[in-house]
């Protein structure tokens, strides 16, 4: 066997070993794991970018203003931390004023609206409701809303003037006493005058 033939034989044996390794799956498995990891990372990034926002929470119940059913069409606003997260209107069902509103979830890149345990406040017709709710998007949140209007301050009644007692000595009784005195004095003068005239006639 010459040198050329020996080199060709060595090359053939080396290629056979490489083919056997590939066939056994050693290198192919490594390459497969690497490719699978890269594809998984790409899919995860794409899924995160396209993931839908969280499901909103739903609140419902009755609505009364000063003890009376709210008028149909009254606007109700749901707020979380001062942010407006849902708006609806009152509707009448079975003679009862009711509402149903979806309160948005907090966006991934924002700090507003609801998340588990957030407090939800309500504004009914521009006035704050007495009740609040807790944000939960896995069940229906029943909250009956009531609004109490501010009662105007009542003015205190004006004091009645105290009647004055009549002045003493100037009433009707005092005037009557003086009149009787004058009458008595007049009668006495008449009697004296008559007696004096009789004495004068006798003396003649």
Do 36 and 66 belong to one domain?
Answer: no
Nearest CA to 66 out of 122, 115, 26, 124 is that of 124
Q: Is residue 164 part of a domain?
A: no
Do 108 and 28 belong to one domain?
Answer: no
pTM equals: 0.52
CA distance 31 to 33: 5
Identify whether the C-beta of residue 84 lies closer than 8 Å to the C-beta of residue 104. Answer: no
| 180: phi then psi, degrees, rounded to nearest 5 | -65, -35
- What total number of domains does the chain contain? 2
Q: Which domain holds residue 13?
A: 3-40
Q: Is residue 186 part of a domain?
A: no
Q: Is residue 181 part of a domain?
A: no
CA distance 109 to 25: 45
For residue 60, the tally of other CB atoms under 10 A from its CB is 15
Q: What is the CATH number of the domain that holds 82?
A: 2.60.40.1120
For residue 78, the tally of other CB atoms under 10 A from its CB is 27
Nearest CA to 100 out of 129, 146, 59, 57 is that of 59
Do 32 and 71 belong to one domain?
Answer: no
Local confidence pLDDT in tens for the 204 residues of the chain: 555 566 566 667 766 665 566 556 555 544 554 455 555 555 455 544 556 678 999 999 999 999 999 999 999 999 999 999 999 999 999 999 999 999 999 988 767 899 999 999 999 999 999 999 999 999 999 999 999 987 666 555 555 555 565 555 544 445 555 556 655 566 665 555 555 555 455 555
Do 32 and 61 belong to one domain?
Answer: no
Identify whether the C-beta of residue 88 lies closer than 8 Å to the C-beta of residue 103. Answer: no
């Amino acid at each position: 066997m010459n040198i050329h033939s020996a080199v060709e034989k060595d090359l053939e044996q080396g290629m056979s070993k490489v083919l056997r390794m590939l066939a056994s799956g050693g290198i192919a498995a490594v390459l497969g794991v690497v490719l699978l990891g890269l594809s998984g990372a790409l899919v995860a990034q794409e899924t995160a970018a396209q993931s839908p926002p969280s499901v909103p929470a739903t609140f419902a119940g009755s609505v009364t203003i000063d003890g009376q059913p709210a008028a149909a069409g009254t606007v109700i606003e749901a707020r979380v931390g001062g942010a407006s997260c849902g708006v609806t209107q009152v509707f009448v069902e079975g003679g009862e004023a009711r509402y149903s509103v979806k309160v948005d979830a907090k966006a991934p890149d924002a700090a507003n609206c609801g998340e588990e345990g957030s407090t939800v406040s309500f504004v009914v017709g521009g006035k704050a409701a007495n009740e609040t709710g807790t944000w939960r998007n896995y069940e229906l949140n029943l909250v009956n809303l009531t609004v109490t209007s501010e009662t105007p301050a009542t003015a205190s009644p004006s004091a009645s003037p105290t009647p004055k007692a009549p002045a003493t000595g100037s009433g009707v009784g005092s005037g009557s006493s003086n009149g009787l005195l004058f009458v008595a004095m007049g009668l006495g003068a008449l009697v004296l005058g008559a007696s004096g005239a009789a004495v004068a006639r006798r003396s003649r």
